[in-house]
Amino acid sequence: MTTIEPAETTIGPAGTGTTTSGLSAAGTTAADVLRAHIRDVADFPQPGVVFKDITPLLGTPAAFTVVINELATTAGGYGATVVAAIEARGFLLAAPVAYRTGVGVVPIRKQGKLPGETVSRTYDLEYGTATLEVQADAFQPGDRVLLVDDVLATGGTAAAATELVRASGAEVVGLAVLMELTFLAGRDRLAPLAISSIMEV
């Protein structure tokens, strides 16, 4: 197997020295890089909700590489053999993390999006309800699954995803996210699941 290592990449003004490892001589971390590439959008998708827009991160290759490498390090640390992507923005993160760590990726999708036999869980989220589905044969007993998403809010989405994985006999080794909205206490809802977040809000 050929391993492709990304070249060292500078992020931000010339001379800042931030590299794809997420660290620089100036002490810049993956959290610093992420924070600089997140945009707040007020009253979306409904009044009173502040949406954390990761579009600037996705559009900045060097910053995106830093973040993916950080998540991949987490996946390796947990000994994950499968990465599970939670719809929708989790897809954008989980696929490169799986590639980087050399494991498979499984999509956990909204209801009605997957062919074949599926299993589902309905859950509450901070601005409504939703249903997640996964194909019935997506996970196997013995799989060590890392869930990947962009944000941990109330924990409802992650809890439903965790139930779907465990129902197959696989083990959920942890949840890795870009951001944790600590004021919504999602971590408490998921305890004792291991949770890794690059930054807290």
Q: What is the mean pLDDT of the chain?
A: 87
d(CA 106, CA 109): 9
- Stretch 137-155: mean pLDDT: 96
- Does the structure show a pLDDT above 50 at 146? yes
Residue 141 has pLDDT above 50, yes or no: yes
Top-confidence residue, 1 or 199: 199
Question: What is the DSSP annotation of 154-197?
Answer: SSHHHHHHHHHHHHTT-EEEEEEEEEE-GGG-HHHHHTTS-EEE
Residue 11 has what pLDDT? 40
CB-based contact 143:173 (threshold 8 Å): no
Could you tell me the pTM of the whole model?
0.85
Q: At 124, is the pLDDT very low, low, confident or very high (cuts 50, 70, 90)? A: confident
Q: What is the pLDDT of residue 70?
A: 98
Summarised one tens digit per residue, pLDDT across range 34-56 is: 999 999 999 998 898 889 999 99
pLDDT of 1 over the 60 cut: no
Nearest one of 74, 98, 72 to 85, comparing CA atoms: 98
Q: What is the pLDDT of residue 125?
A: 63
165 half-sphere exposure, CB direction, 13 A CA radius: 29
Q: Show which residues are catalytic.
A: 89, 126
Show the domains of the chain with their CATH numbers: 79-200 (3.40.50.2020)
- Report percent pLDDT > 70 for the chain: 85
